[in-house]
Structure 1
Amino acid sequence: MGVVAVLGTVFGSMAALFVLIVIGAVMLGGSKSSDTSTPIANPTYEASEEPTRRSDGDPEPAPTRTRDQEPTQRPTEDEEPDTTVTPPAKVTLNTSLKNNTMYRAGTLPRLNCRAGNANIYNHGQLKALILKTGRCMDRAWQPILEKQGIRFSPPGYAIAAKRGRGACGDYPSAGSMVPYYCPRNNTIYASTSAMARGNGNARGYGQIINWHGGIISMMAHEYGHHVQNITGLMDSWWRSTLDSTSQSGKLALSRRLELQATCFGGMWMRSVAASYPVNTSNRSRLYWFYGQVGDYPGWPRDHGTPANNNRWFRQGWEKSKTYQCNTWLAPSSTVS
């Protein structure tokens, strides 16, 4: 799925919306400018294990998954093995949008993940940085998800210098520069030249912020879609999209999905801030950057306004807990 944000004319193409539709179908089968954005308005909810009531009074359905947990005790060499067969314990996972099990996962661990001085205009260097930080994302997300009984698996990567054909379509799409996550094969696809230099009339991230942290934060967004996939959030989003009877309703669901991935990306950037490093100046640059990306008048409103992209990236950074990225309970004004 496409990265949550687009720059200026990037969403001038219909590519992002097209990729969104394709992904749903396969699931069934450099600026130094000061930060001028308004302060974040944090959602006013707290994590809850109780089902959320809808306006019609019925509780939100709570799709569940179960997974087997292997016994952890093994006999020592001096002990006789116990021949009693004990069925493996079951962990019931809530895969709903509003009360997903992953919201109990808490904060990502602080990791040592140094970026170095990679040049975003050099394919080999940028690709190596993407793969390296991707492994850091695995190290961050795996323990907190597995602690909740969620089976973890890392995403794959297909990083091209120019363009390629992925399981969910071409990357980049014509007139676009955005990478995308494909749930069909759990793979993140990206073109280094498109992200850095743009594609056609679509400006690249590197033309907005020439520091590599901008592109890596966008890759953290795509990784956020992988988190949504393995936790059941993406399945639940697609079922809700199919149930929606209006185009505006489908777009509203898309924005909540995308802004949540941006929030997850903000959480990860915070987790590596000390070692990456993301100092105070670069944090301000990231905040400013996310105030420049998003939906613009005249184009599909499927990723959220620049103001709300900024809002949710900052939410992930400043609150840094999974339940604080629950866009499905947030006021509509914060996900417009």
Structure 2
Amino acid sequence: MSGNQWGPPPGQYPQQPPQGQYLPPGQGQYLPPGRPWPQQPQYGAPQYGAPPGQQFGWGSGGPRPPKKKGGGAKFALTVVGVIVAGVVGLVGVSTFLKHNGSSDGPYTSQPEPTYTTSYSPSYSPTGYTPSAQPSTQPSATQRPTTTKPVPKPTAPRTTRPTKKPVVVTDLDIVARNRLYKSGAMRSVNCKESSARLATAAGATTNYRNLWNCLNRSWPSLVTKAGAKFRPPSVRTFTGNINTPCGTWYDSGPPFYCGSTETIYMNLTEDVGGYNQYPNQSSKVLARMWMLHQFAHEYGHHVQNLTGILDAAHDIRYDAPSTAKELEITRRIELQASCFSDIFISANRKSYPISGQSAVQWRWLIGNVTDKQNDHGDAVNHKYWALRGYNSRNPASCNTYVASPKKVQ
């Protein structure tokens, strides 16, 4: 059924939702994890990725033109070159974005007024009198003399060298984005919603609260990156939902559609996970899961605003092999998780992430599966989540210069 804007969908949740349908390559972008609901080790680990035979995609939607030749190979060689150089994080960040211009406006200097004096008075003991000019008239017997003006020296003409146009590549946008120089995120004192998450209305209230917090957390960093901030739209759904990025079912994960800048949250998964087990630790895990899921999808929105998402899509599209395509997808997804934990850490005292919440959050980020090999394994997911959490700085989330081993 169609999703609702900030509200519970009509009707009841389906007892047996249909098989998940995922977007074809070149459309929508979305988060790990998929179904089943993440459980603690005694009842299974959370599932990241799409069901067998399906493929994740992202971007602005619509059909793609034929692949360009050689683009993917160039990216692979460039990334390897960066890795060999031992770059971790961001070094020598470019100030250019493909889709976002500088925030500085044009500057035009104003001419300064000039003053000339044609009359110079003099002062005398008897009063104020104009200065007399000496006579320059020749006498009757004196021949006037003329002097030849001395020619002024002329300086040799010089020509300024023409500047070569600056070419900003997709690799520049993903690996040297100005977002990596925006600094650490400050706390906005986000507090957890007091709504009971056992119902669609409670879960929706929780999403709205997180949406407000994230809308106050990311704008300054996005603006420093030279991009214009826009908050995403959010919709909830159960059953199936038709979007500009394709048709989705609640047997799959939540997702982000770049063409409409909309986050779609799966109520069947989130509410069902909260109600599935009666013990308190499972309910805390469900709350941490919803927090991480929503902040992760918002991370894709940040990628979209700063041009990273579209540029990474182009690199993936030109990849020379399926293995390289999956590697780029993992770099995108692991970065979104890193962005998620920047926000979680920045507000860890007010939310808070302590006690049982901290225990469940740490278990969550280190216990994931990746059957489709497109979101990153448990070890690497925990690595990037902790980088974001410990630094609270996007510079720590530059997955595009990391070794392939760090994005497996």
TM-score by length of 2: 0.62
Partner of 1:66: 101
Partner of 2:205: 128
Relative distance call for 1:169 and 1:64 in structure 2 (3 A) is closer
The CA distance in 1 between the partners of 2:282 and 2:243, in whole Å, is 25
- 1:332 deviates by 1.4
Note if contact 2:58-2:313 (Cα within 8 Å) is conserved in structure 1: no
Relative distance call for 1:318 and 1:10 in structure 2 (3 A) is closer
Partner of 1:285: 360
Partner of 2:57: 21
Q: CA RMSD in A?
A: 3.2
Note if contact 2:285-2:360 (Cα within 8 Å) is conserved in structure 1: no
Relative distance call for 1:22 and 1:105 in structure 2 (3 A) is closer
Note if contact 1:294-1:305 (Cα within 8 Å) is conserved in structure 2: yes
How many residues align? The count is 284
Partner of 2:343: 268
Which residue of the other structure, out of 315, 318, 324, is the alignment partner of 1:249?
324
The CA distance in 1 between the partners of 2:189 and 2:47, in whole Å, is 36
- 1:187 deviates by 0.2
The CA distance in 1 between the partners of 2:338 and 2:241, in whole Å, is 28
The CA distance in 2 between the partners of 1:153 and 1:93, in whole Å, is 24
Partner of 1:2: 30
Note if contact 1:159-1:190 (Cα within 8 Å) is conserved in structure 2: yes
In the TM superposition, 1:155-194 aligns within 5 A as 155-172=232-249, 175-176=251-252, 178-194=253-269
Relative distance call for 1:12 and 1:233 in structure 2 (3 A) is closer
- 1:208 deviates by 8.3
| Structure 1, unpaired ranges of 5+ | 30-42, 52-60, 73-81, 83-91, 199-205
Q: Secondary structure at the match of 2:214?
A: helix
The CA distance in 2 between the partners of 1:215 and 1:129, in whole Å, is 9
Partner of 2:404: 332
- 1:327 deviates by 0.5
Note if contact 2:90-2:175 (Cα within 8 Å) is conserved in structure 1: no
- 1:214 deviates by 1.8
The CA distance in 2 between the partners of 1:121 and 1:27, in whole Å, is 40
In the TM superposition, 1:100-119 aligns within 5 A as 100-119=177-196
Residue 141 of structure 1 pairs with residue 218 of structure 2? yes
- 1:191 deviates by 1.9
Note if contact 2:87-2:401 (Cα within 8 Å) is conserved in structure 1: no
More helix by percentage: 1
| Structure 2, unpaired ranges of 5+ | 1-28, 39-45, 66-85, 111-166, 274-280
In the TM superposition, 1:232-243 aligns within 5 A as 232-243=307-318
Partner of 2:380: 308
Relative distance call for 1:330 and 1:284 in structure 2 (3 A) is farther
Q: Secondary structure at the match of 1:190?
A: strand
The CA distance in 2 between the partners of 1:280 and 1:44, in whole Å, is 36
Q: Secondary structure at the match of 1:97?
A: helix
Relative distance call for 1:241 and 1:306 in structure 2 (3 A) is same
